[in-house]
Amino acid sequence: MALLALRGIGMRYGAVQALAGLDLDIAGGEVLALCGDNGAGKSSLVKILAGAQAPSEGSLALDGRETRFRGPQDALRQGVATIYQDLAVAPRLSIWQNVFLGSELTRPPFGLLDKRRMAEASRGFLARLAVGIADMDTPVERLSGGQRQAVAICRALRWEARIIIMDEPTAALGVKETAQVLDLIRRLHAEGRTVILVSHAMGDVVAVAQRVVVLKGGRKVADRPTGAMRAEDLAGLVLRAGTE
């Protein structure tokens, strides 16, 4: 049974049909890449999965049970975390403040913030991702791009998210940092988490994803295992799919 199943998902903005009749099964533990040109419907799909937007038609099922997300917080509670490219972190807040943003830990008897426990837990999450940062009080703006992605992922781990959606996680990064982020995705995969990777970077996709879904004009035009696929093959697929 699919962990997350989409059936007949459609999204209309006025006269624009951004998504139409999309069926997609996502298995537990897989890294699924979502590709397609601008305007293919990727960001509409991400918004629906993140709970930021309700689909105009169709249904979602988690673990075979039909569900809907009443907002980003609701999606998080149901185990689906979304990491947006630009909006993932609050730059001037510390690592632990970012990891526990909106879900801070408190301690009795007065219900005051338990900063030490949040810092320790953040350190633990980062260790799981093999990211070594000494001081959890460091503002996130002082971290490298890859480390920032790691902090954003830690927030997903804090929610024990089973499905982590990453929207263009490497778009603004250099070569070394991109490698670091790909490594983070491999570690999430090794932990048995499901990752949905939205990316334009074909090389990244074939490096970490097991399966790739290509969207075009709001429809699914290809859905296949990456296997021995090379970046050029995928690029060709994105360009040609649906045209023949």
Partner 1 sequence: MGGFLTRYGAALAGLALFCGFALASPVFFTAGNLAVVFKETAFLGILAIGFTLALTTAEIDLSVAEVASLAAVVTGALVHGGQAPWIAICAGLAVGTACGAANGLAVTVLRVPSLIATLGTAAIAKGLGFMLTQGVAFVGRWPTSFTGLARGNTAGLPNLVWWLAGVGLAAWVLVKWTRLGAHLVATGEADEAARLAGIRTLAMKRLALTLAGACAGLTAVLLASSLSSAAPGMANDHFLYAIAAVLLGMCMFEPGRPNIPGTLFAALTLKVLGNGLVLLGAEYYWQDIVLGAIILASVALSAAGMGRAPFVKKLNFRTGR
Site string for partner 1, 126-145 (x = CB under 8 A): ---------------x----
CA triple 185-186-190, angle to 5 deg = 120
Q: Which is nearer to partner 1, 72 or 79 (CB)?
A: 72
Tell me: does residue 109 bind partner 1 (CB under 8 A).
Answer: no
Dist. CA 219–CA 217, nearest whole Å: 6
**Shortest Å distance, C-beta 59 to partner 1:** 24
Tell me: does residue 89 bind partner 1 (CB under 8 A).
Answer: yes
Q: What Rg, from alpha-carbon coordinates, does the chain have?
A: 18
Q: Which of 4, 5, 26, 88 binds partner 1 (CB under 8 A)?
A: 88
Dist. CA 62–CA 25, nearest whole Å: 10
Tell me: does residue 102 bind partner 1 (CB under 8 A).
Answer: yes
Q: Are 173 and 198 in contact (CB under 8 A)?
A: no
CA triple 26-80-199, angle to 5 deg = 65
**H or E element in which residue 224 lies:** strand 219-225
Tell me: does residue 103 bind partner 1 (CB under 8 A).
Answer: yes
Measure Cα distances from 224 to 181, 217, 229 in Å.
23, 18, 10
Q: Which of 66, 70, 91, 116 binds partner 1 (CB under 8 A)?
A: 91
Tell me: does residue 104 bind partner 1 (CB under 8 A).
Answer: yes
Site string for partner 1, 173-212 (x = CB under 8 A): ----------------------------------------
Instruction: Identify which of 129, 105, 113 has the alpha carbon closest to the alpha carbon of residue 182.
Output: 129
**Shortest Å distance, C-beta 137 to partner 1:** 12
Q: Which is nearer to partner 1, 16 or 87 (CB)?
A: 87
DSSP helix/strand/coil, 27: coil
Q: Which is nearer to partner 1, 129 or 140 (CB)?
A: 140
* Residue whose entry in the numeric block shows the structure tokens 């997903």: 156
Dist. CA 47–CA 72, nearest whole Å: 9
Site string for partner 1, 38-77 (x = CB under 8 A): --------------x------------------xxx--x-
Tell me: does residue 108 bind partner 1 (CB under 8 A).
Answer: no
**Shortest Å distance, C-beta 202 to partner 1:** 28
Half-sphere exposure of 32 (CA within 13 A, CB side): 25
- How many residues contact partner 1, by CB under 8 A? 25
Dist. CA 116–CA 106, nearest whole Å: 10
Residues interacting with partner 1, by CB under 8 A? Answer: 52, 71-73, 76, 82, 84, 87-93, 97, 101-104, 106, 111-113, 141, 155
